[in-house]
Amino acid sequence: MGTMQEDEGLGYGSSLPVPSVQEIVRNDAQNIPERYIKNLDERPKASDISSISDDIPVIDLSLLVKGDEDERSKLDAACQKWGFFQIINHGADGVLTRMKAAMADFFDLPLSEKKKYGMATNDVQGYGQGYVVSDDQKLDWNDLLFLIAMPPESRNIKYWPLTIPGFKEAVEEYATELQRVSDEIFANLSLLMGVDKDFLKQLHGDVKQGIRMNYYPSCARPDLVLGVSPHSDASSITLLLQDDDITALQIMHEGIWVPVNPIPTALVVNIGDAMEAWSNGKYKSIEHRAVTDVEKPRMSAAAFVIPANDVELNPLKTMVDHHLQPRIFKDGVKYIEYLRYTLAKKMEGKLANIEYLKLNN
């Protein structure tokens, strides 16, 4: 960790400071401040929810590791039709348990302690809330801690709560295991995309892994707020550790919000915008959001696989066919350019971001 990183942040962007939602609920659990009440057309409605959650694909990582062709075909279909799937038999069950405990220990700290790890004015790392770009925008019902976890030399330790026993070790172990899982997914996607097994991993360059730890307090009026507004991820892929007891993640599938019911010890994986561009639109990044629960708080940890700054989001040559699959994404857009573009805006769905990468823009 060098002085430049300390002084200049990641160079990704920044987010404005806002009150802690956890503290708002501690002080008055019944009152929802106006700034968190979504506009009518943005509020979650029961009528918008589908009952097909059990149809979301489940992929067995142990079979992918063995080179099982049927499981690889399932992965291909999942990325094309859903953009989301759950991974089982990944071999990291104990690691996930320790990660959940580490997150709980952090969010249990007094606010004065958590503020010691607050986001700087020039960084998205640290404790706060993301994508806050103006003083009058509607806010999401969550607090977060965002850390760059991999590679080790990219960590900015001033944002890591090292006073919590075992926190650093749990996050390191979690990041290492998720890197192993993501490498296996990339190897299989590479083969499906008609390139060498190592291609996608190498395409990322000096890849980073950013972990966003989320705390969603309970909410007396979950019909008025959102834990996270609709968005797609700017990553190549994202791996999510869900709470086993609360269904809150929802994905947009064929115009309807589909709840992602947690499978104990599974990881949820979704395609990000970078992968959609590399695949020339074959694999879809999917708009998703999180709702809140009236009785219980919820935690989750999203690990974003982040390509190197200068990597270009050009469609792979194997994914372009002038007759069957013409090019729909531009050449020459560097990843850092796209990431800064997305982080400079509030979350407002997928289309507002992905169009930036397309030829017609």
Residue whose entry in the numeric block shows the structure tokens 């707020």: 225
Closest by alpha carbon to 348, among 42, 128, 144, 130? 42
Measured distance CA(239)–CA(269) in Å, rounded: 5
Q: What pLDDT, on the 0 to 100 scale, is given for residue 151?
A: 96
For the stretch 228-249, pLDDT in tens is 999 999 999 999 999 999 999 9
Examine the pLDDT at 361 and tell me if it is beyond 70.
no
Closest by alpha carbon to 18, among 43, 39, 5, 35? 35
For the stretch 73-131, pLDDT in tens is 999 999 999 999 999 999 999 999 999 999 999 999 999 999 999 998 878 899 998 76
Closest by alpha carbon to 83, among 354, 358, 359? 354
Residue whose entry in the numeric block shows the structure tokens 């979950």: 222
- Under a CB-based contact definition with an 8 Å cutoff, are residues 309 and 106 in contact? no
Give 256's strand partners. Answer: 253
Measured distance CA(61)–CA(253) in Å, rounded: 24
Measured distance CA(214)–CA(298) in Å, rounded: 8
Percent of the chain with pLDDT over 90: 80
Distance of CA 124 to the CA centre of its chain: 14
CA angle 309, 312, 318 (to 5 degrees): 145
Q: What pLDDT, on the 0 to 100 scale, is given for residue 3?
A: 35
Cα atoms found within 13 Å of the Cα of residue 17, Cβ hemisphere only:
9
Backbone angles phi, psi at 329, to 5 degrees: -115, 150
Dump the DSSP string for 249-292: EEEEETTEEEE----TT-EEEEE-HHHHHHTTTSSPP--EEE--
Give 59's strand partners. Answer: 87
Examine the pLDDT at 185 and tell me if it is beyond 70.
yes
Most confident of 28-42, 167-181, 343-357: 167-181
- Under a CB-based contact definition with an 8 Å cutoff, are residues 292 and 227 in contact? yes
pTM: 0.93
Q: How far is CA 155 from CA 137, 150, 334, in A?
A: 30, 7, 22
Q: What pLDDT, on the 0 to 100 scale, is given for residue 190?
A: 98
Q: What pLDDT, on the 0 to 100 scale, is given for residue 86?
A: 97
Closest by alpha carbon to 240, among 225, 250, 255, 230? 250
What separation, in Å, do the N-terminal and C-terminal C-alpha atoms of the chain show?
38
Q: What pLDDT, on the 0 to 100 scale, is given for residue 68?
A: 98
Distance of CA 11 to the CA centre of its chain: 19
Examine the pLDDT at 5 and tell me if it is beyond 60.
no
Q: What pLDDT, on the 0 to 100 scale, is given for residue 1?
A: 35
For the stretch 10-37, pLDDT in tens is 777 777 778 999 999 999 999 999 999 9
Q: Which tokens in the block code for residue 236?
A: 């190549």
- Under a CB-based contact definition with an 8 Å cutoff, are residues 117 and 125 in contact? no
Examine the pLDDT at 54 and tell me if it is beyond 90.
no
